[in-house]
C-alpha cells in the first residue's frame, strides 16, 4: 500500500499536481451555480450547431459552422484564428478531399503558467439535405439531432465550460487553447499535424468526444484504425466459350480474403475484417479486375507493424500465379495508449466527479472507435484524456442520435474543474 501511494504521488507530481486532501473534495459552489445556469444556453447552442449541416465533404456548411464557433469563442475573449489545412502536405488517403473543412483555433491567456488544450470536431458523417428529415428536437431528457453526440456535444461543452469559468472569474491558467477541426470523420488528413504539434506544447489535453449514456466515463485509450485495399488484376475472357483463356480475378480475390480471415486477435484488440468487395463487369465474362477493402483496429502502435507484415506475406501465396495482387495498407489513425500521467489525472477526475455526488468510470481499454486524441498524444509530454463531452447515443445513425440533457450540468462541471485543476499552480 505504501508503494502504491508513493507511485500515485509521483505520477501526480509528473503533471504538476499535488495529492488531493480531504478538504479539496467539497463542491465548488460558484462553479456549480455557473454550470447550472449554462444548462439551457448549452441546449440552445446544441440546437444552433445541429442546424448547421456540416458533413466532412460539405465545405460550404463547414465554413458556416466554423464562423459560428469562431464568433462564440471570440465573444468569450479568445484570440481566434480560422486555419486552412495545407493540402500539399496533408496525409492523403483514398477519401481525402481536395480541400478539408477549416479549423477554428482560439487562445485564452491567463495569469498562471500551465497550459491546457481542449479539442473537439464540428464535422459529421451525414449528407447534405438530411437535416430537413431529422431536425433538432427535444423529447423528455433527450435532445436529438444529426451529429449532436458526435461531436457537436464536444463543441458545446467547450464553449459553455469556458463560459462558466469566465463567470467565476477563474483565470489562473497560463494558456487555454481550443482547436475545433472539420475533418475528423475522414481521419483528420488536414488537421492531424496541428493536433500533434499543439499536443506537444500543452501540459494536458482534454478531448471532448461524447461519453456514453450507458456508462458515464472517461477514456484513456482509443483504437488505431487502418484500411487494407486488396486489388487483383487478371485477364478477361468469354465465360462460356473460352474460360480457360482467362485469369479469374474473383477467384484470386476470394482466395486472398479467405486466407486472411483469421488475422484478428480480439483479446488484444487486434481486429481485421473484410467489409467491401467488387469484381467483374458482365455475367458472361471472366472478371479481369477485383478489389476488396478491410477495416483494421489496433490497441497499440506496435500491432500495426505485425499485422501489416502478415497481410503482405500472405498476399504472396497466390491461387493463380498469373494474377497480379497488390496490397495497400494505410494507417488512418494511431491508437491512444494509456500513460501513467493520464491515469494519475483521471484519478483526480474521479474525485472531482464525487464533489457533485457522481461516480466516474475510467476506461483503459479501447472500445473500437478512434479519435483525434490519438494525434494529440503522439508527441505529448503530459496526460491526454478522452470523452469530456455530454452523454450521448446513436452516433452515425440516421434517426437515433441524441444527448442526455441531464448530463449537461455534471459534464460541464467536470470539464471546467479539470481545467482548473491542471491550470492552477
* Model confidence band, residue 313 (pLDDT cutoffs 50, 70, 90): very high
* Model confidence band, residue 398 (pLDDT cutoffs 50, 70, 90): confident
- The per-residue pLDDT for 185 is 97
- The per-residue pLDDT for 425 is 56
The mean of the pLDDT values for the chain is 93
Axis-axis angle for helices 153-168, 408-423 (nearest 10): 60
Homologous superfamily assigned to 21-222+336-423: Zn peptidases (3.40.630.10)
Q: Which CATH number fits domain 227-333: 3.30.70.360, 3.30.365.10, 1.25.40.10, 3.90.1300.10?
A: 3.30.70.360
Catalytic residue among 38, 184, 252, 421: 184
What confidence tens digit (pLDDT) does each residue in 166-176 have? 999 999 999 99
Region of residue 393 (left: phi > 0; alpha: psi -120 to 50; beta: else): beta
Q: Is 184 a catalytic residue?
A: yes
What confidence tens digit (pLDDT) does each residue in 379-395 have? 999 999 999 999 999 99
Answer whether residue 4 shows pLDDT above 80: no
| Of residues 119, 269, 99, the one with CA closest to residue 181 | 119
| φ, ψ (nearest 5 deg) of residue 23 | -70, -20
Q: Which three cell numbers stand for residue 231?
A: 486489388
Catalytic residue among 123, 185, 209, 303: 123
The residue ranges of every structural domain in the chain are 21-222+336-423, 227-333
CB–CB of 105/178 below 8 Å? yes
Q: Which three cell numbers stand for residue 222?
A: 482509443
Amino acid at each position: 500500500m505504501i508503494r502504491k501511494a508513493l507511485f500515485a504521488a509521483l505520477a501526480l507530481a509528473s503533471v504538476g499536481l499535488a495529492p488531493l486532501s480531504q478538504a479539496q473534495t467539497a463542491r465548488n459552489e460558484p462553479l456549480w451555480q455557473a454550470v447550472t445556469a449554462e444548462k439551457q444556453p448549452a441546449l440552445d447552442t446544441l440546437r444552433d450547431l445541429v442546424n448547421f449541416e456540416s458533413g466532412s465533404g460539405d465545405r460550404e456548411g463547414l465554413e458556416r459552422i466554423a464562423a459560428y464557433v469562431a464568433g462564440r469563442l471570440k465573444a468569450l475573449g479568445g484570440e481566434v484564428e480560422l486555419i486552412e489545412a495545407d493540402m500539399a502536405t496533408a496525409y492523403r488517403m483514398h477519401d481525402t478531399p481536395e480541400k478539408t473543412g477549416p479549423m477554428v483555433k482560439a487562445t485564452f491567456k491567463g495569469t498562471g503558467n500551465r497550459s491546457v488544450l481542449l479539442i473537439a470536431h464540428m464535422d459529421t458523417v451525414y449528407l447534405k439535405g438530411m437535416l430537413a428529415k431529422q431536425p433538432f428536437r427535444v423529447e423528455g431528457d433527450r435532445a436529438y439531432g444529426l451529429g449532436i453526440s458526435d461531436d457537436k456535444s464536444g463543441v458545446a461543452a467547450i464553449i459553455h465550460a469556458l463560459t462558466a469559468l469566465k463567470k467565476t472569474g477563474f483565470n489562473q491558467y497560463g494558456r487555454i487553447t481550443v482547436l475545433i477541426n472539420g475533418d475528423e470523420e475522414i481521419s483528420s488528413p488536414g488537421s492531424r499535424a496541428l493536433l500533434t504539434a499543439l499536443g506537444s506544447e500543452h501540459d494536458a489535453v482534454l478531448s471532448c468526444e461524447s461519453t456514453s449514456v450507458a456508462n458515464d466515463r472517461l477514456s484513456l485509450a482509443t483504437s488505431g484504425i487502418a484500411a487494407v485495399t486488396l486489388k487483383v488484376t487478371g485477364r478477361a475472357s468469354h465465360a462460356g466459350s473460352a474460360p480457360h483463356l482467362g485469369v479469374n480475378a474473383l477467384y484470386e480475390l476470394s482466395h486472398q480474403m479467405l486466407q486472411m480471415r483469421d488475422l484478428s486477435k480480439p483479446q488484444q484488440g487486434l481486429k481485421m475484417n473484410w467489409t467491401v468487395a467488387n469484381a467483374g463487369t458482365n455475367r458472361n465474362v471472366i472478371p479481369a479486375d477485383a478489389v476488396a477493402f478491410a477495416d483494421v483496429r489496433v490497441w497499440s502502435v506496435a500491432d500495426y507493424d505485425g499485422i501489416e507484415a502478415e497481410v503482405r506475406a500472405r498476399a504472396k501465396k497466390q491461387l493463380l500465379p498469373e494474377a497480379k495482387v497488390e496490397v495497400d495498407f494505410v494507417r488512418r489513425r494511431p491508437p491512444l495508449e494509456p500513460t501513467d500521467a493520464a491515469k494519475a489525472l483521471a484519478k483526480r477526475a474521479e474525485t472531482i466527479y464525487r464533489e457533485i455526488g457522481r461516480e466516474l468510470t475510467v476506461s483503459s481499454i479501447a472500445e473500437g472507435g478512434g479519435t483525434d486524441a490519438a494525434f494529440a498524444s503522439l508527441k505529448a509530454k503530459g496526460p491526454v484524456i478522452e470523452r469530456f463531452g455530454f452523454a450521448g447515443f446513436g452516433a452515425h445513425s440516421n434517426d437515433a442520435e441524441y444527448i442526455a440533457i441531464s448530463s449537461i450540468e455534471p459534464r460541464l462541471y467536470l470539464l471546467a474543474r479539470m481545467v482548473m485543476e491542471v491550470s492552477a499552480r
